[in-house]
Amino acid sequence: MPDYDAVVVGSGPNGLSAAIELARNGCSVLVIEANETLGGGVRSKETTLPGYIHDICSTAYPLVVGSPFLSKLPLDQYGLEWINPDLPMAHPLDDGSAAEMHTSVERTANRLGIDSEAYRSLMGPFVDRADDMAPDILAPLQIPSHPILLAQFGLRALLPATLLANRIFKTDHAQALFSGIAAHAFMKLSRPLTAAIGMVLGIYGHRHNWPFVKGGSQNLTDAMVAYFESLGGEIQTNWRVKSLDELPTARATLLDVTPQQVLDLAGDRLPGGLYRRSLKRYRYNPGVFKVDWAVSDPVPWTAEAPRQAGTVHVGGTMREIAISENMTNRGLHPEKPFVLLAQQSLFDSTRAPDGNHTVWGYCHVPNGSTVDMTERIEQQIERFAPGFKETILARSTRFTFDLEAENPNCIGGEINGGVQDIWQHFTRPAPRWSPYRTPMDGVYICSASTPPGGGVHGMSGYHAARAVLSDL
Ligand SMILES: Cc1cc2nc3c(=O)[nH]c(=O)nc-3n(C[C@H](O)[C@H](O)[C@H](O)COP(=O)(O)OP(=O)(O)OC[C@H]3O[C@@H](n4cnc5c(N)ncnc54)[C@H](O)[C@@H]3O)c2cc1C
């Protein structure tokens, strides 16, 4: 008899989702985590001063609340509470104004002047049917349940973000708003499929806001862990698995890791051939340089909108953002990086003491970068919020190698489990009918390196678990 029905290596949101889906279907499951803390990309910590809770990895969760799997779990019974910012996202420009993404498509469009109608028709039809679309787009390649809707989405989503934005928008505001969201793709914005990221995060932002977790992202992980344990699941921390051979016996082993690590863990157990070659050739994104600040006051944005926003995209016009993303993809460090910034404590007083605040930010850097981007990031914020630097009480910075040391999935500081361009989106981690199964009997991959890819939605883990259940 094997020790467990399933062993899951890694406790990121996908590992935990897989573990929950298996446990609630009656399997005995052990989750093994290298770190002392659980959660992978969903953790928080006091990294600056006592009482300041920073989301040290992910922070904004439109895809959790939009996830057909995670949104259905009873996590509220295990302490999960959502914080919905007044304005999901704002994007300041040099003239002191800002583009605004409201939950309402109508309100967002109305502020875009001559681009109102173009924005309305880009987002509106899909926001109305976001819940219908989610099972099709947060899934591996499959026969869609809403083929016409998906085809209409695909016509726009397959385009490069800059091409789509140049074609339909005339104003700096609309172009900056859309390209800033698309830049979450980590790719050159002139590459096909970058529009998909702009559309997906935009659609789910309108449908569900870009919410934070009350008290810190760790509370999402803790709720998932508590629910998993209530189903009889077991967890072992501080165990960095070096080889599949050291694992307890199980009918299925699920790896919440990326292809490079699968090769290391499997060694000779993984046969030669196309699958092994594909894992070897698997491509990773640029990395991130991460900064968390403890500050004495809210960020003093010149424009009004960013003062109300949960997330702020700091990088100026679409042209500037495109240049910044081009450079990081070519191994260069932009002088004016595109900065993703979040202000959780404006809406959640549990994050910082005495009316003080937390600010979360990062910029993209070449994979494996060793350059300190602190000054450039803070300069970009000062550009749109003069006086920001004077509010800083403490900061914690993390290089690409720090991220990888904390979480081996962050290869070279990357955060999304591998490039998600038009080729690797449909073939992650290797061209295969079932992307979760490997050629090794009973061994599966369940991380963001499988469809639907990066971000916190748990759907890679869920689909991997369904493959296991069907095999068992
Ligand atoms: C700085 C940063 C900001 C981000 N911002 C957002 C955001 O705002 N919104 C969003 O949706 N997404 C965001 N992301 C991306 C998101 O966090 C990831 O896409 C997601 O966490 C991937 O989940 P996963 O389960 O596949 O892997 P991970 O979350 O990376 O988890 C993998 C786990 O496996 C463990 N592990 C690896 N190897 C071993 C081993 N050999 N033995 C044992 N354990 C092992 C790791 O320690 C880790 O805990 C961000 C990520 C980072 C780092």
Tell me the per-residue pLDDT of 144-197, one tens digit each, with 9 for 90 and over. Answer: 999 999 999 999 999 999 999 999 999 999 999 999 999 999 999 999 999 999
What is residue 281's three-state secondary structure?
A: helix
Structure tokens at 173: 């505001």
The one-character DSSP state at 360 is E
Q: How far apart are CA 41 and CA 60, in angstroms?
A: 12
The mean pLDDT of the chain is 97
Domains of the chain, CATH where assigned: 4-80+213-284+415-471 (3.50.50.60), 82-212+286-406 (3.90.660)
pLDDT-derived band at 1 (thresholds 50, 70, 90) equals confident
Side chain identity, residue 348:
D
Residue with tokens 């109300």: 308
pLDDT tens digits, one per residue of 417-463: 999 998 999 899 999 989 999 999 999 999 999 999 999 999 999 99
Any ligand 1 atom below 6 A from CB of 257: yes
Give 419 Cα–ligand 1 centroid separation in angstroms: 15
Q: What is the mean pLDDT of residues 205-234?
A: 98
Give 343 Cα–ligand 1 centroid separation in angstroms: 21
| pLDDT in the model for residue 175 | 98
| pLDDT in the model for residue 229 | 98
Tell me how far apart the terminal alpha carbons of the chain are, to the nearest angstrom: 14
Q: How far apart are CA 248 and CA 245, in angstroms?
A: 8
Residue 238 makes CB contacts below 8 A (sequence gap 6+) with 33, 34, 35, 36
Q: How far is CA 279 from CA 84, 156, 231, 422, in A?
A: 39, 30, 34, 17
Structure tokens at 351: 């994050």
What is residue 147's three-state secondary structure?
A: helix
Give 70 Cα–ligand 1 centroid separation in angstroms: 16
| pLDDT in the model for residue 371 | 98
Name the residue among 266, 258, 252 with its Cα closest to residue 30.
252
Any ligand 1 atom below 6 A from CB of 41: yes
Q: How far apart are CA 232 and CA 227, in angstroms?
A: 9
Q: What is the mean pLDDT of residues 84-105?
A: 98
Any ligand 1 atom below 6 A from CB of 391: no
For ligand 1, atom 6, which residue shows the shortest CA distance? 58
Whether the Cβ atoms of residue 88 and residue 205 lie closer than 8 Å to each other: yes
| pLDDT in the model for residue 354 | 87
Q: What is the mean pLDDT of residues 188-208?
A: 96
- Angle, helix 172-182 to helix 194-208, in steps of 10 degrees: 100
| pLDDT in the model for residue 91 | 98
Q: How far apart are CA 219 and CA 39, in angstroms?
A: 10
Q: How far apart are CA 61 and CA 356, in angstroms?
A: 23
